Structure formats: structure tokens, C-alpha cells
Chain A
Amino acid sequence: MTELTLVQAINRGLSEAMRADPDVLVLGEDVGLNGGVFRATEGLFKEFGESRVIDTPLSETGIVGTAIGMALYGLKPVAEIQFLDFIYPAFDQIVSELAKFRYRSGGQFPCHVVIRTPYGGGIKGGLYHSQSTEAYFCHTAGLKVVIPSTPADAKGLLLTAIHDEDPVMFLEPKRIYRAVTGEVPDGDHRVPFGKARLVREGSDVSLFAYGAMVPPTVEAAETLEKEGIHAEVIDPRTLVPLDEAAIVASVEKTGRAVVVHEAARFCGFGAEIAAILAEKAFYSLKAPVARVTGYDTPFPYALEHLYLPNAETIAHAARGAVKAS
């Protein structure tokens, strides 16, 4: 075990995967000598050289399109998109190409690319360095969507992503790149996809959160505990595939659910969790499912602290759910 920040754990995962398999390579903007704008690829250029840590021209469709070509040829590219907010020039490649290659070729051309990208608010990034648009990718058949919230999961999920056979969108909560440290297993540590993490056990209300929303959700649960409300916290870790069984089982136990995410509410991932609970846990529900999310506005710069969910707004929603029944 080694104590690491989340971004260090990602760096560790990348370097270990590259050491173990010469087919693994990294490409993106400023990932080489500069080590990435968040330093996620620091040291890789020196160790593996420019043929495996590729500084690309400034074109997201170029990055993802070439990564797809490399994967079709048999390599295991890990593409970095500098911010999720800048991924849209590559949206066509991701949605029309990457997600559909296996399907449209009848299995002849599987296409395993990992796309790493920092996402989310709380860093004074304004409209274009803050958004959480994971739902776009969850809505596209053929993509796996992974969001770690701890250093150990960051490494373990990244190694699973690199060894997977399918395209993976690996969204990194940049707000907690360095704000969170934790023990990370050494060596080939893998966290399976589709298995939620029980962050905290409770019996009164289930709080579902992922990425940078996990720490404030845990903080909310601790506040609620002092008030005699036992909140369970579950981090799904992978939105696709989703551990629906864990979500349903938790609400069957608690009867109440609060879904937390940074993304806008309308058609956000919380809507899917709410729908699953309506379909599969309806008779266990003692209160309406609550959503604590960003608003249906663009992401504001100066007032981001008022836009984002926090421990207090999460606790408030949980109290409301408990009081409702």
C-alpha cells in the first residue's frame, strides 16, 4: 500500500500498465514533456519515450480518431482529453465510431480505447472547465462510463479499463485530484466494473453519489448521524455498467433515496436512478426520490459554490426524505 492522491494514483496506474504491456500507450495534448496540465502523465515521457507518450496536435477528433485506428490495429491506446468540456470535437468519433465499431462490424472489429478526461466543477473553471456531462455518454450504447472517487478506485478502475475489451470513458473528478489522499494497493490492483462501493452503511436513507460528490455526501451523512438519521452512502463507481442490484437493495432496506450529482438535473444520471427505483423498488419507497444536482443552467463562474451541491444541501434533502414519512 502507498499513500497517494487521486491524480498520483492515476499516474501510478498508467505507468504500471505501460510497464506491463508494450501495447499500452498514451496520447493527448501536452501529455509528454509537460506531463499533462494536471500532471496525470508526469514522468511517463521520460520513462517510455515519445513513441508511447504522444504529444498530439490540438485536435480532439484527431486524438480520438487516431486512437481508434491504433486500437483497430491491436494497440491499447489511452487517450487524454484535457477537459471534458473540450471533448465535443471528438463527439462524432466517440458516439458514431468508437461506441459502434464492435456492433456495426458484427464483432469483426472490436475497438478498445480508454478515454481519460478530467470533469466537474469547484475549481473556478467557469463554463468551459467545469461541466459534468456524463449523461451524454451513458446514453450511447457501447460505451462504458467510469468515475472514481478515491485514489484506490482511481488506480483499480483504470487498470480494469485498460484491460477491458470495450471502449471506456474514464471521467476523473479534477476537484479532488489532490484534495483526497488514500492508501492505494501496489501492483496489479483491479476494481471490477458494475460493482458499487458501499461507502457507509445506514438504515434510514440511501445517498447515491459519485466522483467529487462523494466527499460532501459523506460529510452530510456524518452530520445526519448526529441528528439520529442513519444515512447509507453508495458510490456506483461505474455508471455503465451500473450496479442496479446494489441500488435497489439499499432502498429496499432504507425506503428513501437521495441522488447527488453535479450535472444539471433534467435528463441527468439521477433521473435514471430515480426511474430504476420507480420500476424496481416502488413498494419499498416511503418518500419521493430526491435529487440534489446542479441547476438546469450553464455552469456559472463566480457563483459556482451556489450552483454545486454541498454537504448542507445534501443533508437538507435527506432530512426532507426522512420527514416525508
Chain B
Amino acid sequence: MVLSRAMDERCLTLQRQGRIGFYAPALGQEAAQVGCALALSPDDWMFPAYRELAIALTRGATVPTIMNQLLGNSADLTKGRQMPNHFGFVDQHFVTASSPIGTQITQAVGAAMAAQRRKHSIVTVAFFGDGATSSNDFHAGLNFAGVFRTPTIFFCQNNQWAISLPREKQTRSKTLAEKADAYGFPGVVVDGLDLNAVYAAVAEARQRAVRGDGPTLIEAQVYRLGPHSTSDDPKRYRSDAEVAEWKAKDPIVRFRDQLVAAHLLDEGAEQKIWEEARAQVGAAIEECEKIPPMAGPSIFEDVFAQLTPRLEEERAEFSHRSAGGATHA
């Protein structure tokens, strides 16, 4: 949680300084994400949206690996092809995110159908926000999951705002979780600011799924403390008072207080955790910024497994143009 927070805070600054092009922070959603990820197995498959930094870190993606993606350099696993935060890590079964909203939901269900076919005791998890519950793929995905009783957890982080649209204008439903009723499986609401509560809800949903009892929709109620992204100014649509009210319920502070109350943490240790996290992020930035960008002709790779004759022709044209004095490396 602390590492995610430290990275978000530093990366927002990096974007302001023009060192990365874009950023979508997970500020305020750390307990929901860490609680969820801890309840899952390494074999489970994640189908994230683009605001899952703490999921990625908890799954074992390292700070430099993520930093390389934010920078889009030649060490980026996604080869500099996507905006920051759209990372993916095959080793962590963390599928590379896209920008369209909700599309990963049906994909998570399909992967779960494949796991059923292979008789693998795993679950797939679709991550999305409150806005995505209006998308085509949310309804198609939940419907397919209900029909085929797939081992899928639909993990909705209701952060109250879909860019500028508040939760109550997204749907007339009282809760997002109750939408699962229509598809014939349980939907549960959980306090997404409470790591332990989220852990328990996800662990239970996971057990149900691997038992063969089908999917669960979990609505983790959180708050997007930051902007939608660095391209957004939330002051245009929400009040400082509202943000302050939620800031007072900071999930990291809450978990810290629980640990302190249980004598598992003291002030010195907490200080050290923050310092280490910030140092780790700082060191990663320093190292990763030294890594050069991808070579120009790499844009032709991975369109298909092999270059088609047309792409070969375009690559040759590109290289010829580059050799003529343009700046492609």
C-alpha cells in the first residue's frame, strides 16, 4: 500500500515535469487492491483496467518493471507501445490492460471457461470501476459467467466517480453489487477502505469459484482521492469538502491504526517503511530514465507473429527514410 502510494505521488510529479506522458493514480484504492490481490493465488489470472498499480505490485511486478512501462523505454515489457499505467506481466498472469472501458470483463469470463475446460482450479478476476457497470461487456460478461457458472470474480472498485460523473448518476440501482442478482449469482458490498474486509470477501468468492459454485460480483466501495488522470481537473465537478471527508478515511492510515492497535507496528517502523518505499521509487526512476527508447523499426514487430510482405516493405521504407537524416534510432 505504501509503495503504491509513494509511486503514485512521485509519478504525478514526474508527469507534471514532462518526464512521463500521462498518469492515472490509484490513490485511495490501495487497501481494496492489496486486500484483493493477497486473497488470490499466483495461478489466478488478472484482467485489469488501467488503475491497478497496487494489484500489480502485490502480484510481484517490480517497481523498475512498472517504471519502465511508465517511461515507455526499451526495457518496457510492452515495448513503449501503450500509455502509462496500461501495463501487463505475463509471469504474473496479469493481462495487459487497454483503454476501452469494460472490455476485459468478457475476456476474464472466457479465460475462466478455458480454465474449466482444462480442469484447472483457478479463478479469473476482472477489475473495473463504477463507470464500467454501464458498459456492454459488463452485462455480457456477467451474463455469460452466470450461464456457464464460471470461476470468475468481478471486482468492482466503486471509487464514486467516472471521470466527472458521480456514482448516483451512473445507475439508478442502489448498489452496484445488486446487479449480480439479475445474472443469478451473488453480489456483495464491501468496505474497500478496509484491507481485512476486502481480503475476506475475495477469499470467500475465490472458494466459491474453485468449488464450482460460480462467479461473484464484489463491489469494493472506495474513493478516488486523486484525479481520473493527469488530464483531468476534479475541481470542476467535485468539492474540496467531499475530498477532505474521504481523505480523513485514508485506507493506509486505517490499516496503520489497526497494526498499531495490534502492536504490530510502531512509529519508527512506519517511518522506515515510507522511507524505504520512497527510496525504492527514487532509485527506480534514476535507473530507468537512463534506459534508451525502443529502436524505431520496433514499431513493425508484434503486429503479427511474422512480418507480412507489406510490413516488411513499410519497414524498409521507414529505415530508408531514417537513414536519410530523420531521427529514428
Q: List the interface of chain A (C-beta within 8 A of B).
A: 25, 51-52, 54, 56-57, 59, 61-62, 64-75, 77, 89, 92-93, 96-97, 100-110, 141-142, 144, 164-166, 194, 240-242, 244-245
Q: Which of B89, B99, B110, B115 contacts A66 (CB 8 A)?
A: B110
Is the CB–CB distance between A74 and B114 below 8 Å? yes
Closest residue on chain B to residue A97 by CB atoms:
B103
The minimal Cβ–Cβ distance linking A170 to chain B, given in whole angstroms, is: 16
Among B78, B88, B90, B107, the residue within 8 A (CB) of A65 is: B107
Query: Measured between C-beta atoms, what is the minimum distance from A157 to chain B in Å?
Result: 16
| Bound: A70/B150 CA distance, A | 12
Query: Which residues of B are interface residues toward A (Cβ below 8 A)?
Result: 45, 47, 76-79, 81-82, 86, 88-90, 95-96, 98-100, 103, 105-118, 124, 136-137, 140-141, 143-144, 147, 301-305, 308-310
In angstroms, Cα B110 to Cα A66, docked, is 4
A65 touches B98 (CB 8 A): no
A103:B302 contact, CB within 8 angstroms: yes
- Write the chain A residue with the least CB distance to B124: A69
A216 to nearest B CB, angstroms? 28
Question: A66-B144, A144-B304, A194-B308 in contact; A106/B107 too (CB < 8 A)?
Answer: no
Bound Cα distance from A244 to B314, whole angstroms: 14
- Measured CA separation A2–B88 after assembly (Å): 47
Enumerate chain B residues within 8 angstroms of A106, measured Cβ to Cβ. Answer: 76-79, 81, 96, 302
- Asked whether, in the complex, the Cβ of B303 is within 8 Å of the Cβ of A142, the reply is yes
Chain A: CB-nearest residue to B76 = A106
Q: Is the CB of B45 within 8 A of A105?
A: no
Beyond known contacts A51-B117, A72-B95: 7 more, CB 8 A cutoff: A66-B109, A67-B110, A75-B117, A92-B103, A96-B98, A107-B79, A108-B90
Contact of B103 among A93, A103, A109 (CB under 8 A): A93
A93–B109 Cα gap in the complex (Å)? 14
Contact A166 B304 (CB under 8 A): yes
Q: Is the beta-carbon distance between B309 and A65 smaller than 8 angstroms? A: no
Does A70 lie within 8 Å of B143, measured CB to CB?
no
Residue of A51, A65, A102 near B106 (CB, 8 A) is A65
Judge whether A109 and B96 touch: CB under 8 Å. yes
CB-based nearest B residue for A238: B308
Residues of A within 8 A of B124 (CB): 69
Q: Which A residues are CB-close (under 8 A) to B76?
A: 106
A102/B114 in contact, CB under 8 A: no
Known: A69-B112, A142-B303. A62 touches B106 (CB 8 A): yes
A72 and chain B: residue at smallest CB distance? B111
Closest to A243 in B: B309
A100 to B90, CA, bound (A): 16
Shortest CB distance A262–B (Å): 24
* Contact across chains for A62 and B114 when beta carbons are under 8 A apart: no
Residues of A within 8 A of B136 (CB): 61, 89, 92
On whether the beta carbons of B310 and A244 are closer than 8 Å, the reply is yes
Q: Is the CB of B88 within 8 A of A108?
A: yes
Assess whether A69 is in contact with B143, with CB atoms less than 8 Å apart.
Answer: no
Sample (6) of A-B pairs whose CB atoms are under 8 Å apart: A62-B137, A69-B111, A96-B100, A109-B96, A142-B303, A241-B308
CA distance A104 to B77 in the complex (A): 10
Which residues of chain A are within 8 angstroms of B86 by Cβ–Cβ distance? 104
B310 and A73: CB pair below 8 A?
no
Residues from chain B with a CB closer than 8 A to the CB of A241 are: 308-310
CB pair A57 B147 closer than 8 Å: yes
Instruction: Given A104-B78, A104-B81, check contact A65 B114 (CB 8 Å).
Output: no
Interface contact A107-B45, CB-CB below 8 Å: no
Provide the residues of chain A in CB contact with B118, threshold 8 Å.
73-74
Cα A56 to Cα B105 in complex, Å, equals 16
How far is the CB of A247 from the nearest CB of chain B, in Å?
A: 12
The answer on a CB contact under 8 Å between A240 and B308 is: yes
A245–B313 Cα distance when bound, in Å, is 12
Task: State A91–B197 Cα separation when bound (angstroms).
Answer: 38
Closest 9 CB pairs of A and B: A69-B110, A65-B106, A66-B110, A62-B140, A73-B114, A105-B96, A69-B111, A106-B79, A165-B305
Which A residues are CB-close (under 8 A) to B78? 104-106, 108
Is B117 touching A66 in the complex (CB atoms < 8 A)? no
Q: How far is the CA of A255 from the CA of B177 in the complex (A)?
A: 66
CB distance from A7 to the nearest CB of B (A): 27
Query: A62: which B residues are within 8 A, CB to CB?
Result: 106, 109, 137, 140-141, 143-144
Known: A89-B136, A241-B308. A104 touches B147 (CB 8 A): no
Given contacts A62-B144, A97-B107, A106-B77, contact A73 B115 (CB under 8 A): yes
Bound: A59/B108 CA distance, A: 16
Instruction: Give the Cβ gap from A325 to chain B, nearest Cβ, in Å.
Output: 29
Q: In the assembled complex, which residues on chain A have CB atoms less than 8 Å from the CB atom of B82?
A: 104
What is the chain A residue whose CB lies nearest that of B294? A106
Known: A75-B117, A244-B310. A102 touches B305 (CB 8 A): yes
* Nearest opposing residue in chain B for A113, CB measure: B110
CA distance A66 to B79 in the complex (A): 26
Tell me if A65 and B96 are in contact (CB < 8 A): no
Name the CB-closest residue of B to A96: B100
How far is the CB of B100 from the nearest CB of chain A, in Å?
A: 5
Chain B nearest CB, measured from A141 CB (Å): 5
Complex CA gap A107/B46 in Å reads: 17
* Nearest neighbor of A62 in chain B, beta-carbon distance: B140
Query: In the complex, which residues of chain B have a beta carbon less than 8 angstroms from the beta carbon of A93?
Result: 103, 106, 137
Q: Which residues of A contact B304 (CB under 8 A)?
A: 102, 142, 144, 165-166
Closest A residue to B112 by beta carbon equals A69
Which residue of B77, B106, B108 contacts A108 across the interface (Cβ within 8 Å)? B77
Min CB distance A210 to B, Å, is 17
CB of A107 within 8 A of CB of B106, answer: no
A103 touches B81 (CB 8 A): yes
> Complex: how many Å from CA A136 to CA B302?
21
